[in-house]
Chain A
Amino acid sequence: MAGILVLGYGNPGRGDDGLGPALAEAIAQRDFEDVRVVTAFQLGVEDACALKDYGAAVFVDAAVEGPEPFFFREVGPGDPASFTSHSVSPAGLVGLARDLFGARTRAFVLGIRGYSFDEFGAPISPPAQANLEAALAFLGARLAAGGGAPALAQGAAVAPAG
């Protein structure tokens, strides 16, 4: 229950939508203790099963709007819990994990600002790449410091406004 799940999601085949998986893969290479890294095209309801096994989860996604270079915030009760055939919001997953599996996982969203999402096969754009590096430095430092969910929550307070 003490571990941290880092879940980076998005489509690497579509420009800046690949920011989430790119950050997750970079985190995976650092081999942090008690941190499990998963990449996915998108969130699915079945991910609710996995949440219960972790003390904290960090959802890493590209953001089409909001502050640069990234925002980091805890998922709260007021966040929208949406479900469609193609996406589930982090708040939706946290709610499902809580209601169906008794999970008490604290969840955070790391939203990395992206700019270009339309073109198939495009790489991450240069400004988004710079944002990615800033977000990686931020999350990497938090994970390296240890401390689990409370430390991440403290990070949410000092991260760029979100």
Chain B
Amino acid sequence: MATTVTINPVTRIEGHARITLHLGDDHKVHEAYFHVNEFRGFEKFCEGRLYTEMPTITPRICGICPTSHSLASAKACDAIQRLIPTPTGVLLRRLAQAGQMLASHALSFFHLSSPDLLLGFDADPASRNILGLAAKAPEIAVKGVLLRKLGQEVSERLTGKKIHVLGMVPGGMAFPLSEEDRAALLAQLPAALETCQMALGILKGYIDSHRDMVASFAMFESPYLGTVGPEGALDFYDGWLRWVDADGGVLAEVPPQRYREFIAERSMDFTYLKYPYFKPLGFEKGFYQVGPLGRVNAATRMSTPLAQAEFREFRSLNGGRPVHGAFFHHYARLIEMLYCVEELKRLLDDPGITSTDVQARGHRNALEGIGHTEAPRGTLFHHYHVDDTGVLTRVNLLIATGQNNPAMNRAVLEVAKQYVDGERITEGALNRVEHAIRCYDPCLSCSTHALGSMPIDMSLYSASGEELDRARRS
């Protein structure tokens, strides 16, 4: 007789999110902690290898944002070689990045977050997913899948591989883009644009009909960080780091090579994720947010027309100042998604995109290199030290989810204060805490260097430390 075998997850080693809520003497939530209990030493694994291997190795950190890791790595290698990539190499890198950002944002919105919005926070968790969405609104689910597929297809056509991106190399890209591939991608953009606009319509409709919830959901002010290009335009690939305060005032705008002067990290005893903060403001006041909301709040403008119109409408929600509240990560994500499609069109229309001059070549000319880029979840840094034979002696990866860690903790606290009442964790409270984390679309694989999904295990403690209740969502 056959025995039953659990095949899900078959291989995944889970990045486990544990949340603890602590009541005060007044029986209200006073503290909340988002614990990450696993750690893998990816940096240590890289030490002793040749730096030129890194653009191929680092995509294996994570299957969700491999292009970002490969790109940051290739840029660090550019710096070690003191090499300027060819113009076509830059166009292709930007193309790959826009494709990955589109794929990641589409996945986040259509498949992870929109079921909460369209089926309701209190819908049965077993059906509050893309299958439930497929049953209720199949046309939306199909468009979401096709948008994600287009983003993935950009990588596939650039590199021949979907996940293990092998195209990024020091000095540019390894492969040119064919005219056939360019045409095939361009043909899909009109439909993709419509899907992005549809998604924005869905989200804006939700905000209109849930104004009180949206305005209060994990609402707190903070500084923001994003990469900006000329005239403060949001840029995924390159530019300067810009921190703004909660009112939009520029706190610092510096080349990414100076990141260590402005970002410090502190270890906390309850999590393996460090607490990064904006050094000039100190630990208590310096936690900042990255990712879609960080970028859109830090930028002055978008460089494409449709995204710019959405950007203006978005910023008008708070009189032109940064817009606060975890829920608005979704809104910013969709503006970026629209920007991705416009950016893909701009890049694919550039006659230089199919040139075969894709890579400049060089050799080691420096002992240190810093590569930076915007990953879907926020600003990413790869920092390498090498010896004079090109062997890596020190590697530091500063990951977006790590930078959002203090904000995620704050978001969990705010939601718990609002929805946890008494000594039990209700289904509604668990759902909303789960969604608060989902707003940040965290990638625990990157940040802890462990593969996996994110089951949530939440405990409620009394002021005396007694566990009052526990709830789990796998």
Q: Which residue of A lies closest to B161 (CB)?
A: A39
Chain A 73-116, CB-CB to B under 8 Å as 1, else 0, gives 10000011111111101111001100111000000010100100
B154, chain A: closest CB distance, angstroms: 12
Of B8, B64, B162, B445, chain A has the most CB atoms within 10 Å of the CB of: B8
Chain B interface, number of residues (Cβ within 8 angstroms): 51
When each residue 46-75 of chain A gets 1 if its CB lies under 8 Å from chain B and 0 otherwise, what string results? 101100000000000111111100010100
Q: Given A41-B66, A86-B64, A99-B138, check contact A121 B45 (CB 8 Å).
A: yes
C-alpha gap A42/B10 in the complex (Å): 11
Interface assignment of B57: CB less than 8 Å from any CB of chain A: yes
Within 8 A of A (CB), among B4-28: 5-13
Say yes or no: A162 contacts B11, CB within 8 Å: no
Is the pair A45, B60 in contact by a Cβ cutoff of 8 Å? Answer: no
Please report which residues of chain B, range 40-61, place their CB below 8 angstroms from some CB of chain A when the two chains form the complex.
40-42, 45, 57, 60
A120-B7 contact given A14-B451, A86-B445, A100-B138, CB 8 Å threshold: no
Contact B163 A100 (CB under 8 A): no
- Whether B11 pairs with A49 at a CB distance below 8 angstroms is no
Q: How far is the CA of A117 from the CA of B141 in the complex (A)?
A: 34
> Which of A8-55 touch B at CB < 8 Å?
10-14, 17, 19-20, 40-42, 44-46, 48-49
Q: A41-B163, A99-B134 are in contact. Are A87 and B441 (CB under 8 A)?
A: no
| CB of A89 to closest CB in B, whole Å | 4
Q: Does B146 contact A (CB under 8 A)?
A: yes
Contact across chains for B5 and A46 when beta carbons are under 8 A apart = no
Contact of A111 among B5, B41, B148 (CB under 8 A): B5
Q: How many angstroms from the CA of A17 to the CA of B451 in the assembled complex?
A: 10
Distance of A118 Cα from B15 Cα, bound (Å)? 12
Are A61's CB and B11's CB within 8 A? yes
Closest to B377 in A: A85
Decide yes or no whether B135 CB sits under 8 A from chain A: yes
A11→B5 contact, CB < 8 A: no
- By a CB distance below 8 angstroms, the chain A residues around B9 are 64, 82, 87, 89
Known contacts A82-B8, A85-B107, A118-B40: A48-B131 contact under CB 8 Å: no
Given A46-B149, A82-B453, A99-B138: A114 in contact with B11 (beta carbons within 8 A): yes
Q: A44-B152, A86-B451, A120-B42 are in contact. Are A100 and B10 (CB under 8 A)?
A: no
Contacts A92-B131, A111-B7 hold; do A49 and B149 have CB atoms under 8 A apart?
A: yes
CB-defined contacts of B41 to chain A, threshold 8 Å: 120
- For window 97-127 of B, CB contacts with A under 8 Å fall at 103, 107-108, 111-112
Tell me which residues across on chain A come within 8 A of B42, comparing CB atoms: 120
Q: Is A161 an interface residue (CB 8 A)?
A: yes
Contacts of B449 in A (CB 8 A): 120
* Contact, CB under 8 Å: A96 / B451: no
Complex CA gap A13/B144 in Å reads 30
Residues of A within 8 A of B3 (CB): 67, 161-162
The minimal Cβ–Cβ distance linking B105 to chain A, given in whole angstroms, is 11
A63 to B41, CA, bound (A): 23
B12 near A87: Cβ-Cβ < 8 Å: yes
Residues of B within 8 A of A89 (CB): 7-9
The interface bits of chain B over 138-156 (1 if a CB of A lies within 8 angstroms of the residue's CB, else 0) are 1001101110110010000
Q: 15 interchain pairs (CB within 8 A)? A: A11-B451, A14-B60, A40-B63, A40-B162, A41-B163, A63-B11, A64-B9, A66-B6, A85-B454, A90-B7, A96-B130, A100-B141, A111-B7, A120-B41, A120-B449
Given A11-B60, A14-B451, A73-B7, 11 additional A-B pairs, CB 8 A: A17-B451, A19-B11, A41-B162, A44-B152, A45-B107, A63-B10, A82-B8, A84-B454, A86-B64, A96-B145, A99-B134
